[in-house]
Structures are given as C-alpha cells and as structure tokens.
Amino acid sequence: MKAFLVANPKGGSGKSTLATNLAGYFATQGREVMLGDIDRQQSSREWLAIRPFALPTIDTWDIGPDDIARPPKGTSHVVLDTPAGLHGKMLERVLKLSTRVIVPVQPSMFDMLATRHFLTELLAEKAVRKGRADVAVIGMRVDARTRAAAELERFFAGFDLPVLAYLRDTQVYVQATAAGMTLFDLPPSRAERDLEQWRAIIDWVEAG
C-alpha cells in the first residue's frame, strides 16, 4: 500500500485541493484508493459526499484527529488530508501511516514562514530521517510572472527537497471541486494546461 500525506500547518495552503485531485488521479487509474480526512472541518469528506456516483470511486473510512486508524485491507493507495497546526505527536502518528509526504506552499510571506518551521520539524522526524517517508514540495496558486513566485522559488532552494510543480491559480480547480470532481474527471481539453503541470507530480507518486 502506498500512502501519501498532504500536510502544511498553514490553513488555506491548498491541502484539500491537492489531496482530492491526487485521489482523483489514482481513481481514474483503477486503483483502490481511499481519501482520509483528519481535519476537524472534514472538507475532503464533505467533498466525497457530493462526488457523482458515476465517476471513478474514491472511498473513505472512519478517521479523525483522535482516531488515526489504518485503512481497510485491500486498499492500494491512501491520500491523507490533514489539519492546520499539524505538529508534534499527531504529526508523528500520521507519518507512521505514510510512505510519502507532499507539502503544498502558497507564494506569500506568511505561508513561507509557517512552512519553514514545519519543514524543519518534518525533516527531523524519525520516519523521514530513516528514509521511511520521502518528502516533496509543490507551489500552489502560483503566477510565474510575479515577484512572489520568484520568492517562493528562492524559498524552496533553501531545502534539499524535490519541487514537483508550480500549480497555477485557476478557476478550473474551483469549478471541478464544486461539482465533486477533479482535474482527472474533466474532459482533457478543459484541463489540458493543468494536467500538464501535474505530469511531474504523477511521475513522483508513481515512482518507487
């Protein structure tokens, strides 16, 4: 089983957007995928409730901040959406379920400051130090023409971590989410540019 932890202590960093779309990719590939939500707001679970029945199946299981249980047997891929403020014992517990960690970061000073502390803590965790969980970062809602994008690139350069992608700020994600869908459920022509940005993410999650 491959388990992907999507984490950043900063609220609004794009965790649920990334987690739901990653789960959507696995579903369209015919994988037995489960999307777990340990955020008290349960955004991902609520999104699953509006997902059209005809689309590729994404399941969930009873999970919460006080009951971080393993997914049922037979699951091939797990995506875990996490709450703001994730750290300490809870971070340690969810890392035990995870083989890979993806940290989404928006190009703002507040996001980068919060993420700097989180990455330092994350990289010091035993599961990461021992190589049991690989870590990568993704730039979220990035306009490559802005100074903020350049600042985010410099921020990432301060860590010895793979930068998988810089995802653009677009209404395609918003519209798909509102319909219980992901990029991978849309007609390719509607999400062509965004699917191209996901290519390196897919290569990383499929490797190993």
Domain that holds residue 186: 2-206
Distance in Å from the first CA to the final CA of the chain: 12
Give me the pLDDT at residue 141, please: 93
Residues 6+ away with beta carbon under 8 Å from 64:
38, 40
Strands 100-105 and 77-81: unpaired
CATH number at residue 139: 3.40.50.300
**Which distant-in-sequence residues (6+ apart) come within 8 Å of 127 by Cβ?**
92, 95, 96, 98, 133
pTM: 0.92
> What pLDDT sits at residue 148?
87
- pLDDT tens digit string along 11-50? 888 999 999 999 999 999 999 999 987 766 667 888 999 9
Number of structural domains (the chain) is: 1
Rounded to whole angstroms, how far apart are CA atoms 147 and 153?
10
User: What was the pLDDT predicted at 69?
Assistant: 62
Closest by Cα among 165, 3, 174, 32 to 94: 3
